[in-house]
Amino acid sequence: MSNSYEDPGRLGSDRWAALIAAWQRYGSACLVVNCGTATTVDAISDKGEFLGGLILPGITLMQQSLTHNTAQLQAQAGRVQNFPRNTEDAIHSGIVRATLGAIEHQFALLKSASAVKTIACVLSGGAAEQIEMHLGMQSNRVDNLVLEGLKIIGDASA
């Protein structure tokens, strides 16, 4: 893999490890999504080049931001609904749909920039299951992608 980040030293080691693991698994263009405290949506070209990616607040962080910084909103569990009719569902639906929109948009950009027809979308992280069930496209969930990448890096260094 090659890293085209403007300042490679500023790319988070967790993101880089996940990218290495995804490339090792698929060896082709893919979108690597880590759903944790932050959600990262990173693209790998079909030549193994890290093209760049997005960082947005994770599901819990978005909810905390709304409940701590907006009057009269409380942190209560909601469900994803097409047309939410209560505040809890409206917040949760908005958070999930914002995350889905970022993923689906970056996937479309990668697909249009790629020479290959098949592009993997890899989901990882603690909130991956919440996103996976609503994602409108094929995806592969790998629960320990960062750890896989760290093992690959460690094995290569030995």
SS3 content of the chain, % helix, strand, coil (to 5): 45, 20, 35
The verdict on whether 42 is a catalytic residue reads: no
Q: Encoding tokens for residue 104?
A: 């689906």
Q: Which of 14, 46, 89, 155 is catalytic?
A: 14
Instruction: Write the CB contacts of 83 (distance below 8 Å, at least 6 apart in sequence).
Output: none
Active-site residue list:
14
